[in-house]
Amino acid sequence: MKIALLQLLPTGTLEGQLEKGLEACRRAKAMGADIALFPEMWSCGYEIPEDVGRLRDLAVDADGAFVSAFGVLAAELEMAVAVTFLERFEPRPRNSAAVFDCHGVRRMLYAKVHTCDFGDEARLTPGEGFYTADLATPAGCVKVGAMICYDREFPESARILMLQGAELILVPNACPMEINRLSQLRGRAYENMTAIATANYPAPHPDCNGHSSMFDGVAYIPELPGSRDTCLLEAGEEEGIYLAELDMDLLRDYRRREVHGNAYRRPEKYGLLLCEEREEPFLRPDRRK
């Protein structure tokens, strides 16, 4: 299964984003992609104006022309597409992703749960939960989930997707992907035995540096005496379409026999994880429920 990571620079307009995004999908298909993944909030290039009126003007409907165009193209190309956008929503817009299968059917609409409430995303409405879906692609069906950027920094995000059966987690991103954030992705893939594909904006987009990546989570295979590198691809900083190839048979065999994921968990011991109380040093005045 080939996943195209669309590491693209924004154009500055919704019309430009649509045109460039559709063309990138066509190029990805020509490269052999089964799934195309956009960086975070592609419709506006991750722009979050301070003025709420302007913010609402930038938002698009989940069933509107911009998002629907990618569903139409997914069916035309027979390629799954995960497109991202600032979603029109009340009381404030959401940071969302729509995942279309290779028949153009929308299989998932996900809104970012862990909004960055310490920054501009305090002006957005957080999502309500994490979801998985069976996604038809030219290479077969795969159970996918999604988490967006800051979601990645909470192990619970990937964990709950694993518990829902996710084999592949799609991660639209808009931040500097340095050694520690890449290590987070490596860890999430390893501990859950899931593949994780991340698409980021390239440099010189503000506060971004490329390094889109693909980890398959397969740390051990019988023919190797030790562990293997789970990183299948790490892009550089430059704009481009980067194609990662995921061996689904290898991943599924690994998930059936290895010790991570849900094989030996003890959920009856984890009650404190559901406690909503906070104490120092983790009290933050801008934290929202």
Q: What is the pLDDT of residues 6-40, one digit of tens each?
A: 999 999 999 999 999 999 999 999 999 999 999 99
Neighbouring C-beta atoms of residue 194, cutoff 10 Å: 27
Two structure tokens written together for 87: 């979603």
Pairwise CA distance, residues 9 & 57, whole Å: 21
pLDDT of residue 72: 98
Residue-wise pLDDT tens digits, 224-263: 899 999 999 999 999 999 999 999 999 999 999 999 999 9
Contact 208, 5 (CB under 8 A): no
| Mean pLDDT of the region 161-185 | 97
Give per-residue pLDDT as tens, 126-158.
999 999 999 999 999 999 999 999 999 999 999
The SS3 call for residue 219 is: coil
> Which runs of consecutive H residues, i.e. helices, occur in 63-222?
65-77, 155-163, 179-192
Beta-carbon neighbour count of residue 103 at 10 Å?
12
pLDDT digits (tens, 9 = 90+) for 31-73: 999 999 999 999 999 999 999 999 999 999 999 999 999 999 9
* pLDDT tier at 215, thresholds 50, 70, 90: very high
Cβ atoms 145, 132 nearer than 8 A: yes
Whether omega before 204 lies within 30 degrees of 0, making that bond cis, reads yes
pLDDT at residue 288 greater than cutoff 90: no
The region, left, alpha or beta by phi > 0 then psi within -120 to 50, assigned to residue 269 is: alpha
> CA angle, corner 119, sides to 114 and 215, nearest 5?
45
Say what percent of the chain tops pLDDT 90: 97
